[in-house]
């Protein structure tokens, strides 16, 4: 059976940096308040008409070049996002066209903060089943154009950033213990309202009712922060344990944990619960904020560039929880 091997990564964030001090001029908040509650110091926001597939395209070009591939080598494209360029068709198809392709299958995954986890598990399944050999997995988000940049929406606005990252994943015949060692994915739709954007909504008689003003708060993300925090610190250790048991390895065999970059406090609490030294958990939320489906692959790209992970035999654990609610954990071993 072929193993799903990460051949390369690439990332791209807009050049427009928004610091906490910049937000102080826009809404009633403070640098101290944001850092204390989230760990975020800055984030990148688009400047002009830019979609998730545009950011994904830039990241994909880097990943393809690093892999020594051309777009025509791809068998499949998976695009994870909660902020598609348009309502439909999906950003995966838009990216496919930007890459100069006209028949390569493309799939969008709408699993929000766990989009990368679901995407990597899907890519692994396609490779192991023989349906694909070379896959481009992209996580891309443009949050800034959908945020309530008033004091009413400050708790959400300060958190999110724009960005994208891409992985080239190849099916490789090898007897070595490598690739995706295990995956554990879960969802609980009963908690959908804890983190959601309600409008536009197909469940309404009209998605854009004439009597709903476009500054209606239902057009913007809402979050029950305390509820999400409690779920994350309870469910993430459980799903990590599940993935370790599936892979039949111990936590001490993990070289680096790369969690979804949602909140520094959540990731620090996770480390404390697992009794890990801080250097075993990768953090970069301070630079980018929460980039949702892009956060784990952006962190992976940076961790590999810094030499924290990526050598043959290195084992990395990805984990995250987000809207849906969805949560999961994947263990990967470098070939």
Question: Annotated active-site positions, please?
Answer: 113, 260, 290
The candidate with the shortest Cα–Cα distance to 53, out of 124, 4, 106, is: 106
What end-to-end distance do the CA atoms of the chain give, in Å? 15
Helices 295-305 and 115-129 meet at what angle, rounded to 10? 80
In this structure, what token pair is assigned to residue 152?
């009413």
In this structure, what token pair is assigned to residue 256?
């680096």
Q: Please tell me the distance from the alpha carbon of residue 138 to that of residue 196, in angstroms, as a whole number.
A: 22
Q: Do strands 3-12 and 163-172 pair parallel, antiparallel, or not at all (unpaired)?
A: antiparallel
Q: Please tell me the distance from the alpha carbon of residue 247 to that of residue 244, in angstroms, as a whole number.
A: 5
Residues 300 and 330: beta-carbon distance below 8 Å: no
């Amino acid at each position: 059976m072929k193993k799903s091997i990460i051949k390369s990564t690439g990332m791209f964030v807009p050049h427009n940096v928004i610091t906490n001090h910049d937000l102080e001029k826009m809404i009633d908040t403070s640098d101290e308040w944001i850092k204390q509650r989230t760990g975020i110091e800055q984030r990148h926001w688009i400047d002009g008409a830019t979609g998730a597939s545009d950011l994904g395209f830039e990241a994909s070009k880097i990943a393809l070049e690093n892999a020594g591939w051309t777009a025509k080598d791809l068998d499949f494209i998976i695009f994870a996002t909660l902020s598609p360029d348009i309502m439909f068709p999906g950003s995966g198809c838009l990216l496919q066209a930007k890459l100069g392709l006209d028949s390569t299958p493309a799939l969008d995954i709408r699993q929000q903060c766990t989009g990368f986890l679901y995407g990597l598990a899907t890519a692994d399944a396609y490779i192991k089943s023989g349906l694909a050999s070379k896959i481009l997995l992209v996580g891309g988000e443009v949050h800034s154009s959908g945020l309530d940049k008033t004091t009413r929406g400050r708790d959400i606005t300060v958190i999110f950033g724009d960005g994208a990252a891409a992985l080239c994943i190849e099916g490789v015949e090898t007897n070595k213990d490598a690739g995706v060692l295990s995956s554990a994915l879960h969802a609980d739709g009963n908690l959908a309202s804890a983190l959601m954007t309600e409008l536009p909504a197909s469940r309404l008689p009209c998605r854009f009712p004439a009597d709903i003003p476009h500054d209606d708060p239902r057009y913007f993300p809402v979050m029950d922060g305390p509820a999400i925090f409690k779920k994350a610190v309870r469910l993430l250790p459980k799903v990590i344990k599940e993935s370790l048991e599936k892979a039949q390895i111990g936590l001490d065999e993990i070289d680096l944990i790369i969690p979804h970059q949602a909140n520094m406090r959540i990731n620090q609490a996770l480390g404390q619960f697992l009794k890990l030294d801080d250097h075993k958990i990768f953090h970069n939320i301070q630079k980018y904020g929460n980039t949702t489906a892009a956060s784990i692959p952006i962190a992976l790209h940076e961790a590999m560039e810094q030499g924290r992970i990526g050598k043959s035999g290195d084992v990395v654990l990805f984990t995250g929880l987000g809207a849906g609610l969805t949560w999961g954990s994947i263990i990967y071993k470098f070939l």
